[in-house]
Amino acid sequence: MTAVVDVEQAGTPAPAAPPAPRRPHRGWARVVRYRWLLVMMLPGILYFLLFRIWPMWGAQIAFKNYVPFLGIQGSEWVGWHHFQEFFSNPDFPRLLGNTLILAALSLFVAFPLTIVLALLLNEVRLSVLKRTVQTLVYIPHFLSWTVVVSLTALLFAIGTGPLSSFLDGLTGTETNYLADPDWFRPLILLQTIWKSTGWGTIIFLAALASVDQEQYEAAVIDGAGRWQRTWHITLPAIRPTIIVMLILQTGEILNTGFEQIYLMSNALNRTVADVFDTYVYFTGIQQGAYSYSTAVGLSKAIVGLVLIFGTNWLAKRFNQQGIF
Amino acid sequence: MRTRRLAPLALLAVGSLALAACGSGGGDGGDGGGGGEALDSLSIMAPYFSATPPEDDDPVGAKLSELAGLDLDMQWVPNAEYGDRTNVVLAGDEIPDVMVIQQKSQGFVQTAEAGGFWDLTEYLASGDYPNLVTENPDVQQASSVNGKVYGVYRARDVVRTSITIRKDWLKNLGLEEPTNTDELMALAKAFTEDDPDGNGKDDTYGMIIPAWGASIGTGSPYDAIETWFGAGNVWKDEGGQLIPSFTTPEWKQALDYEKQLIENGYVNKDYATMDGSTQWNEPFLNGKGGIIIDVQSRASQLAGLFKEKDPKTYDQFVALQGNIAGPNGDFALPTPGYSGFLAVPKASVQTEEQLKQVLTALNELSSTEGQVLENNGIEGDNFTVEDGFAVNDESKQDYTDLVSGSWAQIGTNVAGYEAYKPKPETEYDAELEQERVDLQAKDLEKAVFNPGAALVSETYMTNGVQLDQVIADARIQYISGQIDEAGLDAAIAQWKSSGGDAVTAEMNELYGQLG
Amino acid sequence: MAAPLTTVPTVPPGRASRRASRPSTQHQRFNTRAGRAFDVVNVVLLVAVGLLALLPFLYVLAGSFATELEITTRPFFLWPRDFTTDSYASILSSDAFVRAFVTTVVVTLVGTLVQLALTALMAYPLSKVDLPGRRTIMTVVVFTMVFSAGMIPTFLVVKQLGLLDSYWALILPMAINPFSLIIIKNFFQQLPQELEESAKIDGAHELQILRHVVIPLSKPVLATFALFYAVGIWNDYMSPLLYLNDQDMWTLQMFLRQVTASASLSAQDMGAELPPPAQGIKFAVVIVATIPVLLAYPFLQKHFAKGMLIGSVKG
């Protein structure tokens, strides 16, 4: 039997073998060929049908005026009403802007830092130290935003916090960094980096653990330096993972998360702090307006879907393995 | 041979789904509803604040069941998640016989208006259930939805707003407790500039204000000052018409007063960001700030912390003053007077006979005996009675906390609070408690109630939170100097155009109907 | 940052280079002067990062052993002046907590196993590019990743399936995370195909290939997602809230959430005269909720470190 070579496998560290012509399997023949794999997948398919697809019929409440007591069926149809209300909101451009800026910061600053930290951890030779640091950097992930925000308040307390005093010393003025609109985004970014960078490395470290050590040995014999090894072996090895993570992240671009922003926003920085997630909380969820929040969720999902398919297509164009 | 090793994996996966499919087939309708026959148990859904909810065999629960004449089947829900749970329960079909409704949310109001809850107005007025007849009709009215009473409200102190002041600082500077807003300003100035702690350093300020949620009319220090200035309480009745309090000239006058406090540095600099739930006490305890406008229990809480610091001198630090006069009169800011209500869903209580059964049980639960069980626990076990006060058994304090954090949540006390108050430990505690009671009586006479409390406007239901946020934010931005008066006016104009005008119109229509 | 792309050796001359040019072992291969300097800087940097991550946690830990007065009056400390275990006593005193703790551990263990198995079983076939229906299934998976129907529709389905008041309700509705599925699938896809092919030629069954070739090669990633799933179940408070009426079945988070959430989002309850939960208790709760997951980590970590042992699999 001929090996089926995966043509999408451009991401493997080894120089890609010339793809063998793929033998076309059509229709029934393919099903027969893959019958056991298809059977293997049945529980998963059943799961998606039951717990992911079936509840979707409830998403029709986006087009209804849903009252829990009347039930999904019994509630009255209102068509695109909730969507119109969302998109025609005078604050919509501001919400979109704030959301995109925060998403961009996390994508272009926090995300690369995750990769850098993973690479640095990978370079540590003393395995006790490596494991210890790895465990330590995961800790912030487990602290809730409430804890993170109150620690931030402690560090930036006006006039008395260690970080605010330091910054005041640099600028020569006393500022309430927690209320200053100019400082909102840097603070959010700082918190995000602190809380999620360590945890984010975990996937890359898993990818790095799969790199064949023999390649490093061979590279050393060839006289490759550390940078060269990183550039030619390590990075290509985790490139598929980086690309997949990037694609998946673009799909989340409109989800900034609610709790962190809610807890960090106040009357004085609200102009830059309002994002879709807090807006939906105030207009929808807090009041039990499920139709409205479902409509917003649906709109966001469509944008996310388009972005994921778009970036996936782009990745394929550049001969990278996408998520499909 | 190797297949045997992967069998468990496959079994686990398939088995889990099989389990899912059969699941628990026959567990529907736990409560006694069913058809029209009499209830044999009473299921109640209620929030709890304690660390854990009472166990199924809780002794208070057993005694309350006996008292109610129906087996109580409690569904305890953590308070933090009560709202979500309420909506899910309303969507399902296993609805309890009695539900604590915490707020008139959109979900509740829509359900009530669609006929999902019994209208109790007539039943409560009939006098058949004496323990459910309110001693304060204003509060019952406020708890209603446009005049229809859908639940027995859970009574709370009507007057709680007060000013807590550093007693030793007053003494050091030879000052008296303020009686009006001018004196309060002067006191804040003195506490800031006149070295009230006598350490020769400029390290004190007057008033401690924390960040407040983006809402109006929720008992913030700002709300209190505005009411003292005569801006009303959320709504103001002017010649039979309701107008939002923030459109009155008194409100702006109050804001200028607040702005002055901030500009002159009489307030902590982080007033816009300080976390009130964790940091409000700290400056007071550490001698940095000396005035707190909040509920009366703040004073006893602070006294308790001073006591922990030094039990000998703790009585020298906390002074309590009530609502004070403003430039336009003497007003007090009351609370809504209730915290949610016990409503009866029609899905589970289907006939009038069943409803009467439920109300009879609730009537018993609100009797003196019921209130003592709910608020104090079991006499002779976790507490004893001395001079009409409850003395808690210290070894059973955990249980006492459990009772007050859970069973008290189904207490209504609408006909008056009959349970025992905890016995003050010292003379000073007793003094503070007495002062509190006196201030409550005095301030009740000048309390300004929200005339629109009972009214539920449809536009407010959907946009209210957003609308309130516009005003609450503008208030802080104005007093901080981020916006000027024109900016404040623009915010009010934005409020009007983005739904506020509709809210005002709807409120007035309902106000007219209610008479 | 620009790394030299050339393949010409840039190793500086000197004894170090001589040593490095010998057939090297792990420990020798970076022993150049620049290499050592980098190592020092790197170690210092990472230790600093580790401490930065640890300090706030130590503060929470110290706070959980401090009195309420100390927490209120001292802004930041790593060692409490008055050491007390009251906060823990008040959490751990109740039977409900102990019961919930055991329940949570069991549900987390079983749940992680079930979820990981279901995910791997679905990810493996999807890693075959030629699989019939693959594109359709992947599109659905991606859609369910960006859009979930919401709390109430999911609740109604779980109820319809008769899962209310069953521990399966905490496991099955989140059994396959689309994100995890996609990542695991991609890892499978990157494995060298030759191994699978040769196993096939040896007459191995698909399940056997998965079990004896693919899974051993993917241990790091599977360990990672085991941790993800475990943390997901451990921290979940919404499922028990919605699906478990019987409070005897509640998990730890139902109780912990009560203590930590009440002060933040619903601080301004105008109702009862109940003081907010003490700060010390909140800190203790954070510790109780975090420590077990942190302890679980080293057990999984050994799977990350080894890397894939292609040789041993081949042999």
Q: Where are the domains of chain B?
A: 41-156+337-416, 161-333
Q: How far apart are CA B215 and CA B202, in angstroms?
A: 34
Residue A282 has a pLDDT of 76
SS3 label, residue B98: strand
Q: How far apart are CA A284 and CA B81, in angstroms?
A: 16
Query: CB B114 to CB A46 under 8 A?
Result: no
Q: How far apart are CA B474 and CA A188, in angstroms?
A: 23
Query: Does any CB of chain B come closer than 8 Å to the CB of residue C113?
Result: yes
Residue A125 has a pLDDT of 81
Instruction: Output the six-digit token pair for A47.
Output: 């799961």
- Are the C-beta atoms of C207 and B3 separated by less than 8 Å? yes
Determine what percent of chain A is predicted with pLDDT higher than 90. Answer: 36
What pLDDT band is residue A115 in, cutting at 50, 70 and 90? very high
How many other β-carbons are positioned within 10 Å of the β-carbon of residue B179? 13
Query: CB A206 to CB C4 under 8 A?
Result: no
In a mutagenesis test of the C interface, which of A56, A132, A243 is the best target, namely the one with the most C β-carbons within 10 Å?
A: A56
Least confident span in A226-235, C53-62, C131-140, C264-273:
C264-273
Q: How far is C162 from chain A (nearest CA, A)?
A: 13
Question: Which residue among B20, B274, B465 places its CB closest to the CB of A286?
Answer: B465
Q: How far apart are CA A213 and CA A191, in angstroms?
A: 35
- Are the C-beta atoms of B297 and B317 separated by less than 8 Å? no
Q: Which residues of C touch B405 (CB under 8 A)?
A: 274
Q: How far apart are CA B181 and CA B327, in angstroms?
A: 7
Closest chain C residue to B339 measured between Cα atoms? C271
Q: Compute the Cα dihedral for A214, A216, A217, A218 and give only its sign.
A: positive
Q: How far apart are CA B192 and CA B487, in angstroms?
A: 30
Q: pLDDT by residue (tens digit) across C217-248?
A: 888 889 889 989 998 999 898 899 889 988 88
Q: Which residues of A touch B277 (CB under 8 A)?
A: none
- Are the C-beta atoms of C159 and C217 separated by less than 8 Å? no
Residue B417 clears pLDDT 70, i.e. is over it: yes
Phi, psi of B100 (to 5 degrees): -75, 125
SS3 label, residue A198: helix
Query: Does any CB of chain C come closer than 8 Å to the CB of residue A51?
Result: yes
Nearest 5°: the CA angle A296, A301, A303 is 100
Q: Please name the chains neighbouring A, where neighbouring means 3+ C-beta pairs under 8 angstroms.
A: B, C
Decide which of C66 and C269 is more confident: C66
Give the mean pLDDT of B401-430: 91
Q: How far apart are CA B238 and CA B89, in angstroms?
A: 41
Q: A101: closest CA among A253, A251, A303?
A: A253
Q: pLDDT by residue (tens digit) across B61-89?
A: 999 999 999 999 999 998 888 888 888 88
- Are the C-beta atoms of B300 and B429 separated by less than 8 Å? yes
Residue C268 has a pLDDT of 37
Average pLDDT value for chain B: 89
SS3 label, residue B294: strand
Average pLDDT value for chain A: 84
Decide which of C301 and B407 is more confident: B407
- Are the C-beta atoms of A191 and A148 separated by less than 8 Å? yes
User: Could you tell me which residues of chain A have a Cβ less than 8 Å from any Cβ in chain B?
Assistant: 43, 46-47, 50, 67-71, 90, 150, 153, 157-159, 174, 176, 178-179, 266-268, 270, 282-283, 286-290, 292
Q: How far apart are CA C253 and CA C96, in angstroms?
A: 12
How many other β-carbons are positioned within 10 Å of the β-carbon of residue B111? 27
Assign 3-state DSSP to chain A and report helix, strand, coil percentages, each to 5.
Answer: 75, 0, 25
In a mutagenesis test of the C interface, which of B1, B81, B139 is the best target, namely the one with the most C β-carbons within 10 Å?
A: B81
SS3 label, residue C5: coil
Q: Is residue A226 part of a domain?
A: yes
Q: How far apart are CA A271 and CA C115, in angstroms?
A: 42
Count contacts between A and B (CB, < 8 Å). 98
Closest chain B residue to A279 measured between Cα atoms? B466
Average pLDDT value for chain C: 79
| The domains spanning B41-156+337-416 and B161-333 adopt the same CATH topology | yes
Residue B27 clears pLDDT 60, i.e. is over it: no
Q: Which residues pair with B363 in a beta bridge?
A: none
Residue B326 clears pLDDT 90, i.e. is over it: yes
Residue type, A260: Q
Q: What ranges make up the beta strands (E) of B296-439?
A: 318-321, 338-343, 383-386, 389-392, 421-422
Q: What ranges make up the beta strands (E) of B344-465?
A: 383-386, 389-392, 421-422
Q: Is residue A321 part of a domain?
A: no
The residue written with tokens 């890609």 in the block is A16
Query: Does any CB of chain B come closer than 8 Å to the CB of residue C48?
Result: no
How many H-runs (helices) and E-runs (strands) does chain C carry?
A: 17, 0
Instruction: Output the six-digit token pair for C7.
Output: 């393949």
Residue B332 has a pLDDT of 97
Query: Does any CB of chain C come closer than 8 Å to the CB of residue B91?
Result: yes
Residues 6+ apart with CB under 8 A from B57: none
Give the mean pLDDT of A127-150: 86
In a mutagenesis test of the B interface, which of C205, C274, C281, C285 is the best target, namely the one with the most B β-carbons within 10 Å?
A: C274
Q: How far is B218 from chain C (nearest CA, A)?
A: 8
Q: Which helix (H) or strand (E) holds B44?
A: strand B41-48
Q: How far apart are CA A65 and CA C67, in angstroms?
A: 50
Residue A190 clears pLDDT 60, i.e. is over it: yes
Q: How far apart are CA B138 and CA B121, in angstroms?
A: 14
- Are the C-beta atoms of A48 and A41 separated by less than 8 Å? no
Residue A52 clears pLDDT 60, i.e. is over it: yes
Query: Does any CB of chain C come closer than 8 Å to the CB of residue A11?
Result: yes
Give the mean pLDDT of A228-240: 86
Closest chain C residue to B24 measured between Cα atoms? C162
Spell out the SS3 assignment of C38-76.
HHHHHHHHHHHHHHHHHHHHHHHHHHHCCCHHHHHHCCC
The residue written with tokens 């689309």 in the block is C178
- Are the C-beta atoms of A146 and C264 separated by less than 8 Å? yes
Residue A135 clears pLDDT 50, i.e. is over it: yes
Decide which of A237 and A196 is more confident: A196
Residue B408 has a pLDDT of 93
What pLDDT band is residue B232 in, cutting at 50, 70 and 90? very high
Counting Cβ atoms within 10 Å, is residue C207 exposed (0-12), middle (13-18) or buried (19+)? buried
Residue C18 clears pLDDT 60, i.e. is over it: no
What pLDDT band is residue A224 in, cutting at 50, 70 and 90? confident
Residue A60 clears pLDDT 60, i.e. is over it: yes
SS3 label, residue C159: helix
Domain range for A235 is 91-283
Give the mean pLDDT of B226-239: 96
User: Which CATH code is given to the segment(s) B161-333?
Assistant: 3.40.190.10
Residue A91 clears pLDDT 70, i.e. is over it: yes
Counting Cβ atoms within 10 Å, is residue B26 exposed (0-12), middle (13-18) or buried (19+)? exposed
Q: Is residue A215 part of a domain?
A: yes
Q: Is residue A24 part of a domain?
A: no
Q: Which residues of B touch C121 (CB under 8 A)?
A: 13
| The domain made up of C90-260+277-314 is a member of CATH 1.10.3720.10 | yes
Q: How far is A172 from chain C (nearest CA, A)?
A: 24
Q: How far apart are CA C86 and CA B266, in angstroms?
A: 38
Q: How far is A113 from chain B (nearest CA, A)?
A: 29
Residue C19 clears pLDDT 60, i.e. is over it: no
Q: Which residues pair with B47 in a beta bridge?
A: B77
Residue A223 has a pLDDT of 78
Q: Which residues of B touch C248 (CB under 8 A)?
A: 56
Query: CB C132 to CB A144 under 8 A?
Result: no
Q: Compute the Cα dihedral for C152, C157, C163, C169 and give only its sign.
A: negative
ipTM over 0.90: no
Q: How far apart are CA A158 and CA B267, in angstroms?
A: 13
Q: Which residues of B touch A88 (CB under 8 A)?
A: none
Question: Which residue among C155, C255, C265 places its CB closest to the CB of B51?
Answer: C255
CATH of B41-156+337-416, one of 1.20.1560.10, 3.30.230.10, 3.40.190.10, 3.30.70.2740: 3.40.190.10
Question: Which residue among C151, C155, C262 places its CB closest to the CB of B79?
Answer: C262
Q: Which residues of A touch C257 (CB under 8 A)?
A: none
Residue C200 clears pLDDT 90, i.e. is over it: no
Residue A1 clears pLDDT 70, i.e. is over it: no
Give the mean pLDDT of A130-147: 87
Residue B52 has a pLDDT of 84
Give the mean pLDDT of B271-295: 91
Q: Is residue A54 part of a domain?
A: no
What pLDDT band is residue B22 in, cutting at 50, 70 and 90? very low
Question: Which residue among C142, C210, C227 places its CB closest to the CB of A305?
Answer: C142
Q: How far apart are CA A261 and CA A277, in angstroms?
A: 9
Phi, psi of B255 (to 5 degrees): -65, -35
Q: How far apart are CA B359 and CA B342, in angstroms?
A: 10
Per the structure, the count of domains in chain A is: 1
Q: How far apart are CA B398 and CA B85, in angstroms?
A: 27
First to last CA, chain A: 26
Residue C271 has a pLDDT of 39
Domain boundaries, chain C: 31-84, 90-260+277-314
Query: CB B462 to CB A68 under 8 A?
Result: no
Q: Which residues of B touch C156 (CB under 8 A)?
A: 91-92
Q: How far apart are CA A8 and CA A323, in angstroms?
A: 10
Q: How far apart are CA C207 and CA A40, in angstroms?
A: 8
Residue B357 has a pLDDT of 95
Strand duo B383-386 + B161-166: pairing: unpaired
Q: How far apart are CA A62 and CA A81, in angstroms?
A: 9
Q: Is residue A84 part of a domain?
A: no
Residue B278 has a pLDDT of 78
Helix axis angle, B59-68 to B352-365, nearest 10°: 130
Q: Which residues of C touch A52 (CB under 8 A)?
A: 140, 144, 148-149, 178
DSSP string, A218-271: HHHHTT--HHHHIIIIIHHHHHHHHHHHHHHHHHTTT---SHHHHHH--TTTHH
Residue A51 clears pLDDT 70, i.e. is over it: yes
Length of chain C, in residues = 315
Closest chain B residue to A278 measured between Cα atoms? B466
Q: pLDDT by residue (tens digit) across B503-514?
A: 999 999 999 998
Query: CB A90 to CB B498 under 8 A?
Result: yes
Query: Does any CB of chain C come closer than 8 Å to the CB of residue A10?
Result: no
The residue written with tokens 């899910």 in the block is B88
CA C169 to chain centre: 21
Decide which of B8 and B190 is more confident: B190
Decide which of B221 and B24 is more confident: B221
Residue A104 has a pLDDT of 93
Q: How far apart are CA B162 and CA B298, in angstroms?
A: 9
Closest chain A residue to B9 measured between Cα atoms? A40
Give the mean pLDDT of C89-110: 86
Query: Does any CB of chain A come closer than 8 Å to the CB of residue B473?
Result: yes
Instruction: Output the six-digit token pair for B292.
Output: 């707190």
How many other β-carbons are positioned within 10 Å of the β-carbon of residue B167? 17
- Are the C-beta atoms of A5 and A17 separated by less than 8 Å? yes
